[in-house]
Structure 1
Amino acid sequence: MFALIGNRAGGSRGRSQGLYPGAEERRVLPRPLRRVVRFCVSLATGRIYIPEHTGTIATFGFFAVVGLYGMSLGGHTQTVAQATTAAAGFAIEDVRVSGNDQTSEIDILQLLGLDGTTSLVALDIDAARRKLSELPWVQYAEVRKIYPKTIEVMLKERRAFGIWQHGSELSLIEKDGSVIAPLRDNKFASLPLFVGRDAEVAAASFEDEMSGWPELKGRVKAYVRVAGRRWDLHLDNGVVLKLPENNVAKALAVLARLEKEQGVLGRDIAAVDLRLEDRTTIQLTGAATERRKQALEARAKALKKSGEQI
């Protein structure tokens, strides 16, 4: 019994090896390749249905991909996008600008390159904001798209504090001394004038110090920085006040007392020197000096004549 089963098993193996010689040596394709081979066989035997015009569509798709790749390499993608979206009805036709007191709308349109055919879709908001921030008066800019044909530009402009004269140049400055733009007209003539090297940097602090003397401040035509250390005040009547480097408030208090007691600023004088704490020097004008000289000479003659008569 056991022998019979064993022979059958052995015979079965023999038959298997006889019927399929070399079966163990056959190579089996990897699973991904099997699918590719089955697809190719099905495509060749007609078991897969291919819709009409598939080749035409594939050809156009191929050329479209090649064209897009070529535009990308040539840097023409933005231009094509502009033209395509503008033709589709997204050309910018309305620009709303707010916050531009000193900045011209024409300058804004030219800087952004808006010519009536610019596409709203293709407009680079970040690049537009950076360009607007480069304008002299613009401190901050915001650009927003409003579909289908409008952009909104909101500006925050810098504020002019004074006029700075350096050499023969006149510039508008902010309170921190930053230069805004050259002075081109008389629109800002009412702003204080600061003259000299480093005057723009020290202007704000000194102007605040002068706020305690409003009447004198109202008569100042120019604040002149001397050697980067102290100030001379040029008044509206031509008188020059020479202030010390330190203790400016004390010097101005002395001047206020002289003005109250003697009306010194209304006299024919050229300058008041307040730089020394223990004395105040007053410089006369040329005409006043000549008159004083003549008066002294006349007095001397009168005294001499009086002495001779005695």
Structure 2
Amino acid sequence: MEARGEPRGEPRPESRGEPRPEPRPEPQGAQQGGARVYHRAPRRDPAPSRWQYRMQRLWLTPYFRILARVGVPVFLLAMAVGLYAGNADRRAAVVGVYEDLKDKFQARPEFRVGLMSVEGASPELAEAIRARVDLQLPMSSFDIDLDAVRARIEELDAVAQAELRVRSGGVLQVAITERVPVVLWRLGDRLEMLDEGGFRVAGLAARTDRPDLPLIAGEGADRATAEALELFAVAAPILPRVRGLVRMGERRWDLILDRNQRILLPEADAVAALERLMALDKAEDILARDVLSVDLRNDNRPTLRLAPFALNEHRKAQGIDVSGSEL
């Protein structure tokens, strides 16, 4: 009888003289009820370790990422620079190379300034500006302190404002806003020209050098130049007779006319008071009469002071005996 499970007609390995194959090792497990049960090796846990978890959480922190990506390289670079610069000879060599490159760059022809142009100023003021600046041209534009030069120019009384810039072609352009004198100010023996803001423009030797400018006098008159110009404008109808304005006690004005006539203006609203007098003079021709002064300091009671002869004539007209009065 043939053994079950072996192929029929197939000789056994022993019968052929071949060595019998060793049996395969049985997988671990036990056979229960005709079924084989296998015990597999435990699978690796995919969860990270505690150290890996902490590193992942730390890497998710924005500041840590910035520190790792930026801070560490910067620290290493700074440490390398510090180590290199720790030697005095190396530092001196680096500074020398930098200074040499800077000097060569600043000395390039396109940065050289050879001319200075002054615009908006009279010839006399332009010469004063050139002497004030005193630049040794040609020189590099990097060696010119424009702010300091502007400050020196604006120290001149006749200069209201100065603007400086270096133009192409090596030209230093100076644009000047010159003060325009509009009035003369006499204080003691000193005579000066002022602009509309009361700022000094220049001194003057004699009044006859600028007869076209009106005259103000007295302490503090320069601080009230704007009001003085308004009064001169109101007095335009009698301007040929006006000799000037005198500041009284640094509070108010007296308008001085020829024939020694004086108009005493109030401390407040002097322009309005003078306008009323100009209207009255146009109607009654008061200032053409023999009047010494017109006192407008009291708005409710203007006062006229007549000359002695006119006063006697007025008294005669009223029937008053003036035989004993002085003429």
Which residue in 2 is equivalent to 1:272?
294
Which residue in 2 is equivalent to 1:65?
96
Alignment partner of 1:281 is 2:312: no
Contact 1:226 1:232 in 2 (8 A): yes
Structure 1 counterpart of 2:155, from 129, 134, 156:
134
Structure 2 counterpart of 1:174, from 195, 206, 210:
195
Which residue in 1 is equivalent to 2:17?
none
Contact 2:294 2:303 in 1 (8 A): yes
Deviations for 1:99-126, whole angstroms, at most 9, x for unmatched residues? Answer: 1137622222222223444444532323
- Measure, in 1, the Cα distance between the counterparts of 2:187 and 2:114: 44
* Pairwise CA distance, 1:269: 4.2
For the structure 1 residues 246 and 121, does the alpha-carbon distance in structure 2 shift closer, same or farther, using more than 3 Å as the test? closer
The two structures have a TM-score, normalised by structure 1, of 0.56
Deviations for 1:173-196, whole angstroms, at most 9, x for unmatched residues? Answer: 233333344335656432222211
For the structure 1 residues 257 and 130, does the alpha-carbon distance in structure 2 shift closer, same or farther, using more than 3 Å as the test? closer
Partner of 2:130, secondary structure, is: helix
- Measure, in 1, the Cα distance between the counterparts of 2:167 and 2:281: 66
Superposed, which structure 2 residues align to 1:64-213 within 5 Å? 65=96, 85=107, 92-101=113-122, 104-184=125-205, 188-208=210-230, 211-213=233-235
- The AA in structure 1 aligned to 2:221 is A
- Measure, in 2, the Cα distance between the counterparts of 1:231 and 1:216: 17
For the structure 1 residues 116 and 270, does the alpha-carbon distance in structure 2 shift closer, same or farther, using more than 3 Å as the test? same
Deviations for 1:229-270, whole angstroms, at most 9, x for unmatched residues? Answer: 322111244322222334543465356435643x44334443
Contact 1:269 1:283 in 2 (8 A): yes
Which residue in 1 is equivalent to 2:45?
none
Deviations for 1:148-168, whole angstroms, at most 9, x for unmatched residues? Answer: 432211112233332222232
- The AA in structure 2 aligned to 1:128 is V
- Measure, in 1, the Cα distance between the counterparts of 2:126 and 2:304: 55
For the structure 1 residues 171 and 213, does the alpha-carbon distance in structure 2 shift closer, same or farther, using more than 3 Å as the test? closer
- Measure, in 2, the Cα distance between the counterparts of 1:95 and 1:258: 56
Cα RMSD (Å)? 4.5
The number of residues matched between the two structures is: 228
Contact 2:234 2:275 in 1 (8 A): no
Structure with the higher helix share, 1 or 2: 1
* Pairwise CA distance, 1:284: 1.7
For the structure 1 residues 255 and 283, does the alpha-carbon distance in structure 2 shift closer, same or farther, using more than 3 Å as the test? farther
For the structure 1 residues 290 and 280, does the alpha-carbon distance in structure 2 shift closer, same or farther, using more than 3 Å as the test? closer
For the structure 1 residues 227 and 283, does the alpha-carbon distance in structure 2 shift closer, same or farther, using more than 3 Å as the test? farther
The two structures have a TM-score, normalised by structure 2, of 0.54
- Measure, in 2, the Cα distance between the counterparts of 1:291 and 1:241: 22
Query: Which of these two proteins has the greater Rg computed from alpha carbons?
Result: 2
Structure 2: gaps of 5 or more residues = 1-75, 78-88
For the structure 1 residues 130 and 252, does the alpha-carbon distance in structure 2 shift closer, same or farther, using more than 3 Å as the test? closer
- Measure, in 1, the Cα distance between the counterparts of 2:183 and 2:209: 12
Contact 2:290 2:306 in 1 (8 A): no
Which residue in 2 is equivalent to 1:224?
246
Contact 2:253 2:265 in 1 (8 A): yes
* Pairwise CA distance, 1:300: 4.9
Alignment partner of 1:244 is 2:269: no
For the structure 1 residues 228 and 125, does the alpha-carbon distance in structure 2 shift closer, same or farther, using more than 3 Å as the test? closer
Alignment partner of 1:257 is 2:280: yes
- Measure, in 2, the Cα distance between the counterparts of 1:163 and 1:152: 32
Identity of aligned residues (%): 26
